[in-house]
Amino acid sequence: MKSETLKFGTQNAPHRALYHALGLTDEETERPLVGIVSSYNEIVPGHMNIDKIVDAVKLGVAMAGGTPIVFPAIAVCDGIAMGHTGMKYSLVTRDLIADSTEAMALAHGFDALVMVPNCDKNVPGLLMAAARLNIPTVFVSGGPMLAGRVNGAKTSLSSMFEAVGEYGAGKITEEKLREYECKTCPTCGSCSGMYTANSMNCLTEALGMGLKGNGTIPAIYSARIELAKHAGMAVMDILKKNIRPRDVMTEDAFMNALTVDMALGCSTNSMLHLPAIAHECGIEINLDIANKISEKTPNLCHLAPAGRTYIEDLDEAGGVYAVMNELSKKNLLNLDCITVTGKTVGENIEGCINLDYDVIRPVETPYSETGGIAVLRGNLAPDGSVVKRSAVLPEMLVHEGPARVFDCEEDAQAAINAGKIKSGDVVVIRYEGPKGGPGMREMLNPTSAIMGMGLGSSVALVTDGRFSGATRGACIGHVSPEAASGGMIGVVEEGDIISINIPENKLELKVDKKVLEERMKNFVPKKKELSGYLKRYAALVSSGAEGAILK
């Protein structure tokens, strides 16, 4: 529906009366109405600057002949929600954001939209809404945080969580921990490593839904304001050309995004979000497709937490387009896909050279010949599980050890803090999946504690929940089917041997087949008493292997 159906003719005089109540002039209402979806709030560091981005977008829209009108989207800060019941409300907001944006856009007849998200669930939630609405839409994020500095070295939020583990192990003093606390997050913006927020903002460029620099220009740079103005102008251009989200987010575009995902070494959460966005476009992305792309895509970046470079470094090296330019040298991208620039991918990345081979490896000499994410299968995860391969130490790519079994994150954390986890163990955390959590909590606390205690080279974690984009180590999430749905992870017993082989994409529970059959025959999954939104969510959500979409 276009705003024309609400604005003109005597029958629409009541609508115009309400536009006048907003202070809109006749000249403004006669122009295309462009909704600006603002994720601004005062609790999420990645969103506290979005009011300035929105003001710049509004100016860009007005300069190009449109009338900008702002409405909000909610946002949860995963870092603040981490480690307690609040994290159950993180992933679930992805659908609230998509649903509420759909409702606002259709109820008010906007002609086009500019989405201004930043953090983990806002980007995919708004991409899902864009696909549903299918009206001309451009994305511009709030931008990444600058890295902190401790002891003269760059640092980020993952370092902060690991510092807590170091303090618990007696490796640093309380004063040093306080220094990390005060210096790790020095500016506004989405946290400075290749965590989920920055992963999804970079992949928005790869999908063709954001302009050059959307994922990498730091939040506090004036260039971010200029980008926002250009986004406002761009949406008016694609409105004239009638370029819509489903024209941009084609199957080829998703294959491009998955390829860039593997090259960048993005968060494992991209394996939840890309399938969910694709689903809204009527496109199926399964985990097998991800592995096929990973097999042929070189990993070119080791951004934090996988390495010691940060999003600001990626921006200086040429950004996402420079990575795509490297990939194009091996014909790994479809260059004909149309984008919100009004140009093709090939036209966009032409001349975008790699300016720093320490940040973006040349495609001829990558960190590895395979991508940054791997999907593992086996009797423990017949429907799949996900690991950030590029952030795993070489000695942990193949590991076998006894299971240490916990039915929630809190119990696992208590055992780790008490020194009960030993070298060689495989920590199993279950009933944290989409249904079982519910909400599939990110678990950065236990993974960071293990790394901080110096066990990252000898201890693995396996869960039907998920890990933060800030996680590094042999941390395997999204185990499907989950325990709450009767998955094999629900019958793992203390001391069972678990075999992990990341190069061969295998995750196996090494217990006699007849014993497992007997366990499964007698298995009754635990159920939790739920209420409110979480109760509705748990009843509708699919598995992590399907992107945790609502059915």
Question: Catalytic residues, which ones?
Answer: 468
Q: Is 173 left (phi over 0), alpha (psi -120 to 50) or beta?
A: beta
Interaxial angle between packed helices 157-168 and 174-183, expressed in degrees from 0 to 180 and rounded to the nearest 10: 170
Token pair for residue 22?
A: 């907003």
Rounded to whole angstroms, the Cα distance separating 457 from 474 reads 8
* Nearest alpha-carbon partner for 473 in 390, 385, 400, 402: 390
Report which secondary-structure segment, H or E, holds 384.
Answer: strand 381-387
3-state helix, strand, coil in the chain (%, to 5): 45, 15, 40
3-state secondary structure of 72: strand
Q: Which tokens sit at 132?
A: 């549903």
Report the alpha-carbon distance of residue 27 to residue 18 in Å, rounded.
15
Burial track 48-83 (b if 16+ CB lie within 10 A, e otherwise) = bbbbbbbbbbbbbbbebebbbbbbebebbbbbebbb
* Secondary structure (3-state) at 220: coil
3-class state of residue 184 by DSSP: coil
430 three-class SS:
coil
CA–CA separation, 293 and 289 (whole Å) = 6
Q: What are phi and psi of 374, to 5 degrees?
A: -125, 145
In the block, residue with structure tokens 């209402």: 29
Cα–Cα distance, 469 to 76 (Å, whole number) = 15
DSSP string of 123-141? Answer: HHHHHHHHHHH-S-EEE--
For the chain, first and last CA: distance in Å? Answer: 26
Which amino acid, one-letter code, is at 313?
Answer: D
Distance in angstroms (rounded) separating the CA atoms of residues 479 and 381 = 5
